[in-house]
Structure 1
Amino acid sequence: MFDFFSVLIPFLLIHTICDFYLQTDRWVEAKKARTYRSPELYLHATLQGVALLVPAMALGIDWRSTVCLIVIVAVSHFIIDLWKVTTPKGDKLAYFVIDQALHVSVLAAIAFHVADGASIEAVLQHERFSDGVLVVFAYVLILKPTSIVIGAVLNKYPIVNSAMDTDTDAVTDTDGVAEPVSDKTANVSGLVAGGELIGYLERLLILTFMLVGSYAAVGFVLAAKSIFRFGELNQSANRSMTEYVLIGSLISVVITTLIGVLVSLGVGIKFK
């Protein structure tokens, strides 16, 4: 008798070890340079399949299923990696995410097949399925949709540079929305769209800590961000910019907190 997660987790462990620890940088560069002619590509795909002998033997999976498992994983891994190394700009984060999602999907499908009593109907009828959907929806909601809401609110508050008394144009981001800086006086340093990423990470952390009931950690996240932002805003000669960043941050926190509270109530998490 195999449980879905008792099969999937060892499979994912082997995949992680083979993909990130046993695959050297030289192998990666060789695959990019020679693609399907690279011996490293075939060796890596074979290693991914053969390494699954360890969890298969530990779980007591019969030899026929084990052979099929090794062949399916090795072939699928070869095809997916070949697609990635032959894709222009395959080093971008989006392609990495897609690559890993495809590998995990193959392993999940195999684990689903191996697990006893697992079926789509059983998953849909599981008592926690609706809770899982609600949590996933919450995480989706706090990212791009929340950024759009924050941007719509802040658009009502135009920024005026105190020194030049001119309207400003957006050149960077804060908490997922454009951060205005004057064309005439801008001296911007930092990552392009770095503020957007900071906003995403902040909301992910807040929602996660709320769902696990770690409210003290939420306060730590807010305090840490305030400390890092204090020096930047304290040195700013433009009061409007300071207010802009503060409003954006507070809206981000308020929306995430409200969503966290509603989801916690929906899934039956008790507040302490």
Structure 2
Amino acid sequence: MSDFLTVFIAFLLIHLIGDFYLQPGRWRAAKQKSTYRAPELYLHALLQGVALSVPALVLGMDWPSTACLIAIVVLSHWAIDLWQATRHEHQLTHIVVDQSLHVLVFALLAFHMTTDITIDTILGYDKFSDGMLIALAYVLILKPTSVVIGSILNKYSITVTANHPQMNGLVAGGELIGYLERILILTFTLVGSYAAVGFVFTAKSIFRFGELNKSDSRSLTEYVLIGSLLSVVIATLVGTLVSLGFDIKMK
């Protein structure tokens, strides 16, 4: 699989440099303001395609194949960036979808260009099932876990008054904090670093203690504490079960 990874990583490296390091902020603003009428949209897509000719030629592609690669990347990059530019709010979700689509295009191109990897090769790879299990674990601890925690916390009411507007941010940011917390906990559990799991929970508790200490609402403190404990317990259990699955498979 090294040839596929070499091509894919080379394409992805060029894309990330061009999209995040070399693209001026005013270009992003112009695309957001004028969408398909912005010259920057077309120029950026063209530069991204031309830049990929460097790794393509280094990897030994002929000129016709390189020209085809440039055309595909230019058109796909233009279409994906145009979609993002038409979003009125530059939300994290739009950025994730935008970059995921770019990565998918590069993966398909690398898949097409290399002969060392096929669908049968992927399905027959001895680590494929392990990768699927890990992917399932990460998907499980994000939105599904948030829904479960939210349904449990519905039984506990909190009161946010006009005198404490900062509590709105405290509660509203809980879901994102929970996502990050569970990702870290699951990752540390999978690699067997259980001490780091305790560190994550302790660090979160310390940072939030000051905010909760200023609150005169006991219900809010209990609400946050229950949500945090549920988040830690679920992520740790999922990570432990996946690790046990790997151990059983090895035996």
TM-score calculated relative to the size of structure 1: 0.82
- 251 and 92 in structure 1: CA distance in 2 versus 1, 3 angstrom threshold: closer
- 237 and 25 in structure 1: CA distance in 2 versus 1, 3 angstrom threshold: closer
1:102 paired to 2:101? yes
Distance 2:208 2:240 in 1: 26
- 145 and 2 in structure 1: CA distance in 2 versus 1, 3 angstrom threshold: closer
Matched with 1:14 is 14
Structure 1 residue 63, shift from structure 2 partner: 2.7
Paired residue total:
246
- 65 and 212 in structure 1: CA distance in 2 versus 1, 3 angstrom threshold: farther
Structure 1 residue 241, shift from structure 2 partner: 3.2
1:151 paired to 2:129? no
The equivalences for 1:193-204 within 5 A come to 193-204=172-183
Identity of aligned residues (%): 63
Distance 2:165 2:104 in 1: 42
Structure of greater Rg? 1
Match among 168, 185, 188 for residue 165 of structure 2? 188
Q: Deviation per CA, 1:139-198, whole angstroms, max 9, x where unpaired?
A: 111112212222333344x44xxxxxxxxxxxxxxxxxxxx2155x76230526211111
Distance 1:217 1:74 in 2: 44
Distance 2:103 2:62 in 1: 22
Structure 1 residue 90, shift from structure 2 partner: 5.1
More strand by share: 1
Q: Deviation per CA, 1:198-217, whole angstroms, max 9, x where unpaired?
A: 11111111111112233232
Matched with 1:92 is 91
Q: Could you tell me which amino acid in structure 1 is paired with residue 69 of structure 2? A: L
Whether the aligned pair in 1 keeps the contact of 2:4 and 2:116 (CA below 8 Å) is no
Whether the aligned pair in 2 keeps the contact of 1:84 and 1:90 (CA below 8 Å) is no
Matched with 2:31 is 31
Q: Could you tell me which amino acid in structure 1 is paired with residue 159 of structure 2? A: V
- 216 and 60 in structure 1: CA distance in 2 versus 1, 3 angstrom threshold: farther
Q: Deviation per CA, 1:86-125, whole angstroms, max 9, x where unpaired?
A: x241522222222211111111100111122322222122
Matched with 1:232 is 211
Whether the aligned pair in 2 keeps the contact of 1:2 and 1:115 (CA below 8 Å) is no
- 226 and 54 in structure 1: CA distance in 2 versus 1, 3 angstrom threshold: same
Distance 1:29 1:188 in 2: 32
Structure 1 residue 134, shift from structure 2 partner: 0.9
The equivalences for 1:61-210 within 5 A come to 61-85=61-85, 87-89=86-88, 91-156=90-155, 158-159=156-157, 180-182=158-160, 187-189=164-166, 191=169, 193-210=172-189
Whether the aligned pair in 2 keeps the contact of 1:2 and 1:114 (CA below 8 Å) is no
Matched with 1:177 is none
Distance 1:239 1:25 in 2: 45
Distance 1:235 1:229 in 2: 10
Matched with 2:193 is 214
Structure 1 residue 2, shift from structure 2 partner: 6.1
Query: Unaligned 5+ residue runs, structure 2?
Result: none
Q: Secondary structure at the match of 1:267?
A: helix
- 2 and 265 in structure 1: CA distance in 2 versus 1, 3 angstrom threshold: closer
More helix by share: 2
1:267 paired to 2:251? no
C-alpha root-mean-square deviation of aligned residues, in Å?
2.2
More relative contact order, 1 or 2 (CA 8 Å, 6+ apart): 2
TM-score calculated relative to the size of structure 2: 0.88
Query: Unaligned 5+ residue runs, structure 1?
Result: 160-179
Q: Could you tell me which amino acid in structure 2 is paired with residue 101 of structure 1? A: S
Moved more, 114-123 or 256-265: 114-123
